[in-house]
Amino acid sequence: MLRKSDLDALKADIETSETIAVVSHMNPDGDNLGSLLAAGLSLEKAGKSILFVKADIIPEDYRFLPGIEKLEAVDDEIQMIDLLMVLDSSDPDRLGENKILLDKSKKVVNIDHHISNTEYGDINIVMPELSSTGEILFALLLQMEMPINIDIASLIYIAMSTDTGRFTYQGVNGRTHETVAKLYDYGIDAYGLNTKLYQRRSLKRTKLFIEAISKMELYNDNRIGLVKITGKMLDETGTSMDDTEGIVEFIRDTDSVEAACLLKEIDENVVKISLRTKNSVDANKVCSSFNGGGHSRASGATVEDTIDNVEKRLIEEINKYL
């Protein structure tokens, strides 16, 4: 439930703020970009001057999103901001270098659905029971009677679809679908959006996928599936780390697999973990032990160690739950 006190406080802050910034997180995904752009476009339509700030490169997959061209890197000499809206970011570290914006803002609004959220805002609207930050934002826009048009509704749909595995994950319920039904009332072209989101994989990405899956390792009676993506694999297929999207979900879809792991070698001593689980392993707990977090079924972390060491440590940690 949205708290009336939060809604009133947010409404008052929006009314009195001259400069409002919306900021994305590192490795931005569909929920982060969709909810951030939807918030920014709606506030802009309401007559506000909005700064759209990116924390990282925008993956190719999401460059078709309405309003994406508005996102800019932060200006080092940025003046004090009245209101900063952070969406889908469980803790300040998710903002990377843009963490400084938290100190350069008079007020911070933290809108999120991660169970691991550290409530770092002045206003914290954190609802882990909802499918996506996009769904929370839509409820907020409706309650505050903010402008919503086809672009904003499409962005919310993108946020919800990408964060629920196309509406298949555990948190999806009747309410999720009721929200989607409301989005159709704004004229969204769901088929067109789905085609753009899910049917545009490049051939080189398919080749990386084949290479990655062919190297899948299995542990603990085939209950853990793990793939390591190295710089060499990317070079050989002419791909980048963004092109690994979807691999970890494919591993999880194997019948015997309870925990699916993707280890991305960002640097010789820096590894990004992506973890997806089915029933017996709490992904958030596992990733929290590596200073990361997320949800019980999907979490991540960035670890300073070699990829082979991270593999050993991660398997040990997951084994505690199996």
How many residues form the binding site for ligand 5GP (CB under 6 A)? 15
The residues in 80-109 that bind ligand 5GP, with binding defined as CB under 6 A, are 90-91, 94
Q: Give the position of tokens 């406080």.
A: 9
Structure tokens at 133: 């930050």
Structure tokens at 88: 């889908």
Closest CB to Mn ion among residues 137, 259 = 137
| Residue 297 beta carbon to ligand 5GP: minimum distance, rounded to whole angstroms | 9
Stretch that binds ligand 5GP, among 73-81, 209-217, 292-300, 309-317 (CB under 6 A): 292-300
For residues 239 and 295, what is the distance between their CA atoms, to the nearest angstrom?
28
| Residue 111 beta carbon to Mn ion: minimum distance, rounded to whole angstroms | 10
Residue type, 83: L
CB-hemisphere CA count at 13 Å for 69? 2
By CB under 6 A, residue 274 contacts ligand 5GP: yes
By CB under 5 A, residue 163 contacts Mn ion: yes
Closest CB to Mn ion among residues 21, 87 = 87
| Strand ranges for the chain from DSSP E | 19-23, 49-54, 72-73, 81-87, 105-112, 123-126, 217-219, 224-229, 259-267, 270-277, 293-294, 298-304
By CB under 6 A, residue 27 contacts ligand 5GP: yes
By CB under 5 A, residue 88 contacts Mn ion: yes
| Residue 275 beta carbon to ligand 5GP: minimum distance, rounded to whole angstroms | 7
Strands of 123-126's sheet in order across: 72-73, 49-54, 19-23, 81-87, 105-112, 123-126
Name the site residues for Mn ion (rule: CB under 5 A): 31, 88, 133, 163
Name the site residues for ligand 5GP (rule: CB under 6 A): 27, 90-91, 94, 116, 274, 292-295, 298-302
